Amino acid sequence: METAKPKVYEDLEDRRDSSITYMLVGWLCWIFGFLVMFFNPAAMRLGRVSMLVIAIVLAIIGLVLNLIGLVRLKRA
């Protein structure tokens, strides 16, 4: 009777694909953040500052996702 060995390592191709996906989503967050900043002057005239907060949050999320993807890609 043969026992199943636990999978200790993750497949390199799966790791590479997931890290590229993290980086792609991070770049998309950056692009949407820049789009929000493009419409920010109109929001400032209306007295709303929440668009600036949205742009900052998108930039932080994008940066974190890009860093996670880059670290995973370097380990692969």
pTM of the model: 0.72
Give the pLDDT confidence of 2-59 residue by residue, as tens digits.
Answer: 666 656 565 778 888 889 999 999 999 999 988 888 877 776 666 666 777 888 899 9
Residue 48: what are its φ and ψ, rounded to 5°? Answer: -110, 125
Comparing CA positions, the residue from 37, 9, 26 lying closest to residue 63 is 26
Residue 11: what are its φ and ψ, rounded to 5°? Answer: -60, 135
Q: How far apart are CA 3 and CA 53, in angstroms?
A: 54
